[in-house]
C-alpha cells in the first residue's frame, strides 16, 4: 500500500485545508506511543484516516486499513498533501508525485457502500459479479448488455484500478464497482430485483472454509435478492470447492440446480485460459431461483444518547470483548483527540462478517460512528445496543 517513510512527524494546527483536502483532527493512541490518526475529508465528503506508525525503527505515514478510501488516487493526494503542508522530510516514498493517468482521476463508477444502502438503483435489472479479478467477464457482459446494470465487487485494489480505467476508456455507463465483502453487500440489496449473480473462480480457502463466499447464508440471501427465474452461477476449477458447494446447495429442502463440466462460455479470464491449457476440469453449478421473497425490512437505528465520559473510563475499554450467542463487540483501541473527545476502534456484529469502524466519543455530546454508519443488519443492531450499554456504564 502507498506509504511515506519520514524522518520525523510534525503536527500542524487543525483543522487545516490544503490542495482541496481538509485535515480535520488528530487522535493519539492511549496505549501505543507514537501511533496517531489524521482525519481527512475530500471535496466530495469522503472521510478516512492516515495513520502514523513506528515500524522496525522507521516512521511511517500510510493509509489506515479500516477507513482507507476506495480511490487510490485520493490516498496518494492525502499523503502528498500532508507531507507538503507539514513540511515533512521524506526519506522514502512509493507515492507518485503526480497521477498522470487521466482515466483514474475521475471515477464515477466507483461507489461506496452508503450509495447502495441509502438508495439502491432500481431502474434497471441488476447483475452482480463477486470477485471480478481482471474484469474481463464483467466488462464483456456490460458491453453486450447495455440495458442491464452490472455491479462488480472486488477487494484487490490493483484489479479495481484496472477495471475503472477500462470503464472510462470504453465509456461504459452501466457498471458500478465497489470494494466490499460480497456477503455483507447482499444484505443491502432489495428483494427480487437481481437477474444473475456470478461467482467465477472464487478463492477455494481449503484451509479456512469459513471464509468461502458460498455458504448457506449466502445462498439464502441470493435466493432473496434474485428475481423469479434469476440465477446464481458458480464457476470453479477446484474439485474441493465444487464438492463443498454441491453439498451446501443440496442441504436446502428444495432447490433447482444445473451442473455442467468443462462448459464453454463467451468470455474467459486469463487464469481460465491457463487452466484449460493445463487440462484442468472446470465445474459450473447454477442455482435457478423459483420463488418470490418478501421485501427487505430491518428495523432499528444506530443513534446514541449523550454520554458523560472521562479518560479513565475510556482508557479501560482497551481490548475489552463482549461475546454473545449471535454477535460480538470488541473495543480494539482507544485514542484521544482532546481533553473532551475520544475515539474508539471497534469490530462488532456477525462473527463471520464483522463491521470494522471507529466511534467518535465527545464528552457531553452524542457519539457517532466514523467514517460511516454500520450496515443495517440484525447482528449489527444487537451489537450497537451492547455498545450503548457499555458506554452507559
For residue 101, pLDDT beyond 60 = no
Q: Compute the distance between CA of residue 181 and CA of residue 172 in angstroms, rounded to an integer.
A: 24
The reported pLDDT for the residue numbered 98 is 56
Other CB atoms closer than 10 Å to residue 208's CB: what's the count?
A: 9
Q: What angle do CA 123, 124, 129 make, to 5 degrees?
A: 130
- What number is the average pLDDT over the span 290-319? 92
For residue 140, pLDDT beyond 70 = yes
Question: What is the three-class DSSP state of 239?
Answer: helix
As a whole-number percent, the residues of the chain with pLDDT over 70 amount to: 97
Please, are residues 124 and 176 in contact by the beta-carbon 8 Å criterion?
no
Other CB atoms closer than 10 Å to residue 147's CB: what's the count?
A: 7
For residue 103, pLDDT beyond 80 = no
The reported pLDDT for the residue numbered 156 is 87
Residue whose C-alpha cell reads 447464508 in the numeric block: 217
Q: Mean pLDDT of all residues in the chain?
A: 92
Q: Compute the distance between CA of residue 382 and CA of residue 298 in angstroms, rounded to an integer.
A: 12
Assigned C-alpha cell, 319: 481490548
Backbone angles phi, psi at 352, to 5 degrees: -85, -30
- Class of the domain covering 105-288: alpha beta
pTM of the model: 0.78
For the segment 112-137, what is each residue's pLDDT rounded down to a tens digit? 888 898 889 998 999 999 999 989 99
For residue 338, pLDDT beyond 90 = yes
Please, are residues 99 and 165 in contact by the beta-carbon 8 Å criterion?
no
Assigned C-alpha cell, 18: 490544503
Q: What angle do CA 390, 348, 55 make, to 5 degrees?
A: 105
Q: How confident is the model at residue 106 (pLDDT cuts 50, 70, 90)?
A: low
The reported pLDDT for the residue numbered 273 is 78
CB contact set of 73 (below 8 Å; sequence gap of 6+):
99, 104, 105, 107
Please, are residues 26 and 99 in contact by the beta-carbon 8 Å criterion?
no
The reported pLDDT for the residue numbered 269 is 73
- What number is the average pLDDT over the span 41-48? 93
Strand duo 328-338 + 341-349: pairing: antiparallel
- What number is the average pLDDT over the span 324-340? 96
- Where is pLDDT greater, at 72 or 62? 62
For residue 256, pLDDT beyond 90 = yes
Please, are residues 290 and 229 in contact by the beta-carbon 8 Å criterion?
yes
- What number is the average pLDDT over the span 169-186? 92
Question: What is the three-class DSSP state of 210?
Answer: helix
Please, are residues 387 and 380 in contact by the beta-carbon 8 Å criterion?
no
- What number is the average pLDDT over the span 252-280? 86
Lowest mean pLDDT among 2-6, 269-273, 388-392: 269-273
For the segment 78-87, what is each residue's pLDDT rounded down to a tens digit? 999 999 999 9
The reported pLDDT for the residue numbered 329 is 98
Assigned C-alpha cell, 252: 436446502
Please, are residues 19 and 77 in contact by the beta-carbon 8 Å criterion?
yes
Comparing C-alpha atoms, which of 13, 77, 10, 15 is closest to residue 42? Answer: 77
Amino acid at each position: 500500500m502507498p506509504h511515506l517513510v519520514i524522518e520525523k512527524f510534525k503536527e500542524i494546527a487543525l483543522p487545516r485545508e490544503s490542495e482541496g483536502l481538509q485535515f480535520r483532527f488528530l487522535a493519539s493512541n492511549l496505549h501505543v506511543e507514537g501511533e496517531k490518526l489524521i482525519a481527512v475529508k475530500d471535496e466530495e465528503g469522503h472521510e478516512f484516516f492516515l495513520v502514523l506508525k513506528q515500524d522496525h525503527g522507521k516512521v511511517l505515514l500510510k493509509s489506515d486499513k479500516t477507513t482507507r478510501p476506495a480511490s487510490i488516487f485520493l490516498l496518494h493526494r492525502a499523503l502528498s498533501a500532508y507531507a507538503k503542508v507539514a513540511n515533512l522530510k521524506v526519506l522514502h516514498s512509493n507515492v507518485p508525485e503526480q497521477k498522470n493517468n487521466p482515466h483514474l482521476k475521475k471515477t464515477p463508477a466507483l461507489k461506496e457502500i452508503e450509495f447502495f444502502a441509502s438508495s439502491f438503483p432500481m431502474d434497471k435489472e441488476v447483475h452482480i459479479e463477486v470477485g471480478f479479478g481482471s474484469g474481463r467477464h464483467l466488462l464483456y457482459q456490460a458491453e453486450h448488455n447495455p440495458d442491464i446494470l452490472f455491479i462488480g465487487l472486488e477487494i484487490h485494489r490493483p484489479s479495481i484500478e484496472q477495471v475503472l480505467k477500462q470503464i472510462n476508456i470504453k465509456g461504459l455507463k452501466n457498471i458500478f464497482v465497489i470494494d466490499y465483502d460480497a456477503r455483507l453487500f447482499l444484505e443491502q440489496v432489495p428483494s427480487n430485483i437481481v437477474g444473475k449473480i456470478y461467482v467465477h473462480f472464487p478463492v477455494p480457502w481449503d484451509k479456512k472454509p469459513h471464509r468461502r463466499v458460498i455458504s448457506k447464508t449466502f445462498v439464502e440471501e441470493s435466493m432473496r435478492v434474485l428475481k423469479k427465474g434469476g440465477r446464481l452461477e458458480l464457476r470453479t476449477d477446484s474439485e474441493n470447492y465444487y464438492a463443498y458447494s454441491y453439498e451446501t446447495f443440496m442441504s436446502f429442502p428444495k432447490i433447482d440446480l444445473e451442473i455442467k463440466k468443462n462448459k464453454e462460455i463467451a468470455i474467459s479470464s486469463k487464469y481460465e485460459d491457463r487452466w484449460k491449457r493445463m487440462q484442468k476440469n472446470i465445474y459450473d453449478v447454477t442455482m435457478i431461483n423459483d420463488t418470490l421473497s418478501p421485501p427487505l425490512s430491518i428495523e432499528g437505528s444506530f443513534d446514541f444518547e449523550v454520554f458523560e465520559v472521562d479518560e479513565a473510563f475510556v482508557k479501560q475499554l482497551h481490548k475489552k470483548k463482549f461475546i454473545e450467542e449471535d454477535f460480538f463487540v470488541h473495543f480494539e483501541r482507544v485514542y484521544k483527540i482532546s481533553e473532551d473527545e475520544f475515539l474508539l476502534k471497534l469490530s462488532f456484529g456477525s462473527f463471520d462478517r464483522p463491521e470494522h469502524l471507529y466511534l467518535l466519543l465527545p464528552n457531553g455530546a452524542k457519539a457517532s460512528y466514523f467514517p460511516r454508519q454500520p450496515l443495517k443488519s440484525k447482528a449489527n443492531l444487537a451489537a450497537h445496543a451492547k455498545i450503548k450499554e457499555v458506554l452507559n456504564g
